[in-house]
Amino acid sequence: MGGCDDNGHNISLTWDADEQIKLTPSIITINGCESEHFSINISSSKQGRFIIRPIIITSNLSVVDDARLFVQLKVAQYRPLIIVSMLIGWTYTVCWTIGDYFQAWTSYRRKSVVGLSFDFLYLNIVGNCCYATFNVVLFCSAFIEDEYFRRHPFGLNPVVPNDVGYAVHAVFGNLVLIAQCYIYQNGGTVVSTAVKLLISGYVLMVSVFCGFAIEEHMHWLDFLYILSYVKLSTNLIKYIPQVLMNYRRKSTEGFAISNRLLDLAGGLLSLLQMVLNGWNYDDWQSIVGSPVKFGLGFVSIFFDAIFMVQHYSVVITFGETASFNIEASGYVSSRFDLQLYWPQDAAMQIESNQTISFVEGWNNHSISLLIEPVKQGRFIVQPWVEPKGVVDDTRLFLLIKVAFFKPLMIISLMVGWSYTACWSAGYYPQIWLNYRRKSVVGLSFDFLYINIVGHISYVVFNVFLYWNTFVENEYYQRHPFGLNPVIGNDIGFAVHAVFGTGFTIFQCWIYETGGNSVSKPAKAIIVTYLLVMFATMGCAMWNVMHWLDFLYVLSYIKLSTTMIKYFPQAYMNYRRKSTEGFEIMNRLLDLAGGLFSILQMVINAWNFDDWRSIGGDPVKFGLGIFSILFDLVFMFQHYILYRYVSFLFDQSLFSSTSFRLQKKKR
Helix (H, G, I), strand (E, B) or coil at 587: helix
Distance set, CA 55 to CA 1, 63, 331, 443 (Å): 13, 13, 77, 51
Position 542 scores a pLDDT of: 94
Q: State the average pLDDT over residues 208-220.
A: 92
Q: Please, what's the b/e burial string for 628-640 (b: 16 or more CB within 10 A of its CB; e: otherwise)?
A: bebbebbeebbee
In this predicted model, what pLDDT tens digit does every residue of 241-297 receive, in sequence order? 999 998 887 778 888 888 888 888 888 888 788 788 778 777 776 655 455 556 667
CB atoms within 10 A of CB 147: 17
Report which residue type is found at 460: V
CA-CA-CA-CA torsion sign (413, 417, 423, 429): negative
What is the Cβ-side half-sphere exposure of residue 327, based on CA atoms within 13 angstroms? 15
pLDDT, tens digit (0-9, with 9 covering 90-100), for 508-523: 999 999 889 999 999 9
How far is the C-alpha of 431 from the C-alpha of 586, rounded, in Å? 10
Model confidence band, residue 488 (pLDDT cutoffs 50, 70, 90): low
Q: Rounded CA gap, 412 and 578, in Å?
A: 38
User: Rounded to an integer, what distance in angstroms lies between the CA atom of residue 480 and that of residue 396?
Assistant: 9
The mean pLDDT value for 349-370 works out to: 73
**150: closest CA among 218, 69, 68, 213?**
68
pLDDT tier at 113 (50, 70, 90 boundaries)?
very high
What is the pLDDT, as a whole number, of residue 321?
Answer: 65
Q: How far is CA 183 from CA 112, 176, 211, 254, 305, in A?
A: 9, 11, 36, 15, 31
pLDDT class for 34, splitting at 50, 70, 90?
low
Q: Is the pLDDT of residue 7 over 60?
A: no
Rounded distance between C-alpha atoms, residue 118 and residue 103, angstroms: 13
Q: What are the structural domains of the chain?
A: 11-75 (no CATH), 79-312 (no CATH), 316-403 (2.60.40.10), 421-663 (no CATH)
In DSSP terms, 325 is beta-bridged to 368
pLDDT category of residue 39 using cuts at 50, 70 and 90: confident
3-state secondary structure of 78: coil
| Cis ω for the linkage preceding 291 (within 30 of 0) | no
Nearest to 267 by CA among 233, 297, 239: 297
- Decide: pTM greater than 0.95: no
**Residue 420 parent element (H or E):** helix 406-425
- Runs of H (alpha helix) within 313-360: none
* pLDDT, tens digit (0-9, with 9 covering 90-100), for 48-92: 767 777 777 766 655 556 666 767 677 777 777 888 888 888 888
User: For the residues 418-441, what does the mean pLDDT come to?
Assistant: 88
Q: How far is CA 236 from the centre of its chain?
A: 23
Q: Tell me, what's the pLDDT at 363? A: 78
What's the rounded Cα separation, in Å, for the pair 444 and 437? 16
In angstroms, the CA 80 to CA 296 distance is 29
| Three-class DSSP labels, 192-240 | CHHHHHHHHHHHHHHHHHHHHHHCCCCCHHHHHHHHHHHHHHHHHHCHH
User: Residue 258: helix, strand or coil by DSSP?
Assistant: helix
Euclidean distance between CA atoms 265 and 425, whole angstroms? 14
pLDDT digits (tens, 9 = 90+) for 129-185: 999 999 899 889 989 888 888 887 766 677 778 788 888 999 999 999 999 999 998
Bridge partner residues of 183 (DSSP): none
Phi, psi (degrees; rounded to nearest 5) at 541: -65, -35
Closest C-alpha among 600, 590, 265 to residue 415: 600
Asked if pLDDT for residue 197 goes beyond 90, the answer is yes
Q: DSSP state, 640?
A: I
274 with 262: CB under 8 angstroms?
Answer: no
Between 349-363, 569-583, 648-662, the lowest mean confidence (pLDDT) is in 648-662
Stretch 222-244: mean pLDDT, rounded?
A: 91
Nearest to 610 by CA among 405, 318, 402: 402
Contact, 444 vs 434, CB < 8 A?
no
Query: What is the pLDDT averaged over residues 377-388?
Result: 77
E strands in 241-353: 316-317, 322-332, 336-340, 348-351
Output the CA angle 549-553-558, nearest 5 degrees.
140
- 64: number of CA atoms within 13 Å, CB side? 20
| pLDDT at 65 (0 to 100) | 61
Strands, DSSP E only, in 280-396?
316-317, 322-332, 336-340, 348-351, 354-358, 361-373, 377-381, 384-386
Distance CA 451, CA 558 (A): 8
Phi, psi values for residue 384, rounded to 5°: -105, 140
**Burial of 644 (C-beta count, 10 Å sphere; 0-12/13-18/19+):** exposed
